[in-house]
Amino acid sequence: MTIEDLPDFPLEGNPLFGRYPFIFSASDTPVIFSISAAPMPSDCEFSFFDPNDASCQEILFDPKTSVSELFAILRQWVPQVQQNIDIIGNEVMWKQL
């Protein structure tokens, strides 16, 4: 199966179309994020972002944490990030609304 074999994705009647316009090709404007470093707590004893750590969770759920910083966390791709990719992904989605 190739991408040409896939059925067309119906946009009409899709409840996500209005809520998440940036994930559909019919979006009016592209979404571009600048490069950023992963935010780290000041008292951090490890060299990567650990979503299981309480001080990292404060940063993760802080409304001031940018989408660029969340993508930087995802780029670290350590097991702790991999195990919490759904939580980080949800934060990216909510910051887009």
Q: What is the pLDDT of residue 71?
A: 94
Task: Please choose, from the candidates 10, 7, 11, 8, the residue with its C-alpha nearest in 3D space to the C-alpha of residue 19.
Answer: 11
pLDDT exceeds 60 at position 20:
no
The confidence band for 93, taking pLDDT boundaries of 50, 70 and 90, is confident
Give 5's Cβ-side CA count (13 Å radius): 2
What are the distances in angstroms from CA 66 to CA 44, 63, 87? 20, 8, 15
d(C-alpha 37, C-alpha 63), whole Å: 17
45-49, 59-63, 66-70, 83-87, range with the lowest pLDDT? 45-49
Domains of the chain, by residue range, sit at 49-97
pLDDT classification of 83: cutoffs 50, 70, 90? very high
